Amino acid sequence: MSGEEVRKILLESGFKLKSIAETLNISPQTLDGRLRAKEMKIETLKEICVSINKTLDFFLGDFVEVGAKAITNLEFLQIPFVPVHAQAGYGRGYGDQEYIESLPTIPVIVDKNYRGKYRVFETEGDSMDDGSRNALYSGDKILGREVKRELWRSKLHIKDWFFVICMKNDGISVKQITSHNVEDGKIICHSLNYDKISYPDFEVNLDDVAELYNVIKIVDRNTRI
């Protein structure tokens, strides 16, 4: 179904688009853009359902194709969100449950087959922006799944993922890891940006890292004009 059909159902049912946008932690303009889509993405529709405490049947009704199969390996989770302004202190509070519970949350669809700890991080700066489809823009919200510390002793899957690197005392960075020396526990962090004077590769000792996350997907893309 189209975004306009979703908009019509919401408005006729008395829902306020501004309130829905606030619940989804996106701007009204971003929600408006999604509701202008000719074909509403099922992920977007599910997020809206969570925000208004409804099931998909509320929208789909007779639109459900006969013989269609339900997707059963996905679920929504309320994921703690670490905005830019909170990242400087995250390395000191990552193990404090009270601190984590004080963070805002974002509803995100995740694969049930991958259990673990998730965080949503806000990106800052243009170090990972090379103008390609792999670029991460400043203000993007990205979903990270924790790489447990015991796995750091083996070779990280550096060809498969970007990484969110949460330092114990030096904030958070999102990088490509180009090398992992298992023997001395050191990694080489690489920025996608071609300006290597501003963004040179650098070495990190994993002993100084509080948490490590694989970047699973972009939850909300920052629109650039």
Identity at 25, one-letter amino acid code: N
CA-based Rg of the chain, rounded to a whole angstrom? 19
Domain boundaries defined on the chain: 3-63, 77-220
User: pLDDT of 93-149, one tens digit each?
Assistant: 888 888 888 999 888 877 766 678 899 999 999 999 998 888 999 999 999 999 999
What tens-digit pLDDT sequence spans the chain (225 residues)? 678 888 888 888 888 899 898 888 888 888 888 888 877 777 788 888 888 887 777 776 544 444 445 555 566 788 899 999 989 888 888 888 888 889 998 888 777 666 788 999 999 999 999 988 889 999 999 999 999 999 999 999 999 899 999 999 878 999 999 999 999 999 999 999 999 999 999 999 999 999 999 999 998 887 655
Model's pTM, two decimal places?
A: 0.69
> Where do we find the tokens 């990694």?
187
Q: How many residues belong to the chain?
A: 225
C-alpha distances out from residue 110 to 43, 83, 206, Å? 10, 20, 27
Return the structure tokens found at 72: 């059963």
CATH number of 77-220: 2.10.109.10
Beta carbons of 141 and 122 less than 8 angstroms apart: yes
Cα distance between residue 218 and residue 122, in whole Å: 10
For domain 3-63, which architecture applies? Orthogonal Bundle (1.10)
Strands 186-190 vs 202-205: parallel, antiparallel or unpaired: antiparallel
Sheet holding 172-181, edge to edge: 105-111, 74-82, 118-122, 141-146, 209-220, 163-167, 172-181, 186-190, 202-205
